[in-house]
Structure 1
Amino acid sequence: MCAEKSHDKKPNFFLSMLGNKCARCRRGSIYKTKNPYDLKHFMEMPDYCPVCGQKVEVEVGFYFGTGYVSYALSIAICVASLIAWWVFFGFSIYDNSIFWWLGVNGALLVVLQPLIMRLSRAVWMAFFVYYDENWQQLAAEKADHPQPLLSKAS
């Protein structure tokens, strides 16, 4: 009985999203480079997941909606930095602390922008591509029976 049971644990949803992993198998990277600050190549994605074969760009223009996710993440960072500034430094009408916070918050958002953009794509993919426990079997079947090429008939 135990020999039949797979001991592969299901990867954590949030950790796989934070690690920019494929939403279907939660194991393959959806970016070609791991470094988000390699600004020439940080948004390059392979055509298919290297582990399960899931198409990374599900359809043309699929990632246009990531602007909404990126905006929400940026607002969350702004609120968190506002609360942290308030707790550690405080705000007063007698000094310029609000302007200092605005400057620090703006710099923080600029520095974190590559991370936010990559994370928003991983979150967007997780909205539409669901984890499949049988991804190994489906990937093997796909490898055994590749899709035929469509002819260019007019």
Structure 2
Amino acid sequence: MKRKSLITAMINGNCPRCREGSIFPTSIVSYRKLSDVHQKCPTCNAVLTPEPDFFYGAMYISYAFSVALVVNVLIILNYFFNDPEVWVYVSTVMIANIVLIPIMLRYSKVLYLYGVGKLSYDPQWREKSTS
């Protein structure tokens, strides 16, 4: 079986243990059930939520994503549009946040699970589960 790289697994939102099963039950373009996460990996059965409210820490990562988005939008608008009015800044930031919220929420949870979660990649997980 071909090994999936860490970056590819994180971009696809795959389980940290097997790097095959999906962490999320819905598509990334879905605005329904944005915060849902599988309790266990559908492929290797690893526990993805080790304790209740585990992903509250991901809010800090999501907040950092939002701050970075606001700063970038403000810099781009100021540089390319020669300091537009305040309503342009506010509406552009709001629209960008609404459009990008599924991506920011999802990747904040992926980064938190990979960074803080106790799961590590195990390429031989199949052999261990059958024995």
TM-score greater than 0.5 by the shorter chain: yes
Cα pair 1:25 1:131 within 8 Å, conserved = yes
Answer 1 or 2: which has greater helix percent.
2
Residue among 45, 48, 51 paired with 2:40: 48
Q: SS of the residue aligned with 2:50?
A: coil
Structure 2: where are the runs of 5+ without partners?
none
Change (3 A) 1:50 1:85: same
- The 1:53–1:76 alpha-carbon spacing in structure 2 relative to 1, beyond 3 Å, is same
Relative to structure 1, is the Cα distance of residues 139 and 80 closer, same or farther in structure 2, using a 3 angstrom cutoff? farther
Aligned residue number for residue 120 of structure 2: 130
**d(CA) in 2 for partners of 1:102, 1:16:** 35
Q: Is the 8 A contact 2:58 2:109 kept in 1?
A: yes
Taking the TM superposition and a 5 Å limit, the aligned residue runs for 1:69-88 are 69-88=61-80
Question: What code does the residue aligned with 1:69 have?
Answer: I
Normalised TM-score (structure 1): 0.71
2:109 is matched by which residue type in structure 1? Answer: R
Q: Where does residue 13 of structure 1 map in the other structure?
A: 6
Please say if residues 24 and 54 of structure 1, whose CA atoms lie closer than 8 Å, have aligned partners that are also in contact: yes
Counterpart in the other structure of 1:148: none
1:90 aligns with 2:82: yes
TM-score, with normalisation over the residues of structure 2?
A: 0.81
| Residue deviations 1:47-75 (CA, integer Å, cap 9, x gap) | 21112211111112211111111111111
1:100 aligns with 2:88: yes
RMSD of aligned C-alpha atoms? 2.1
Shift of 1:35: 4.2
Give the letter aligned to residue 21 of structure 2: G
User: Which digits, 9 at most, give the CA deviation of each residue in 1:113-144, with x for residues without a partner?
Assistant: 22211211111110123222332223334xxx
1:48–1:54 contact (8 Å) kept in structure 2:
yes
Structure 1: gaps (5+ residues): 1-6, 142-154
Greater Rg over alpha carbons, structure: 1
2:106 aligns with one of 111, 118, 126: 118
Q: Report the identity percentage.
A: 26
When residues 79 and 137 of structure 1 are mapped into structure 2, their CA distance, relative to the original with a 3 A threshold, is farther
Q: How many residues align?
A: 129
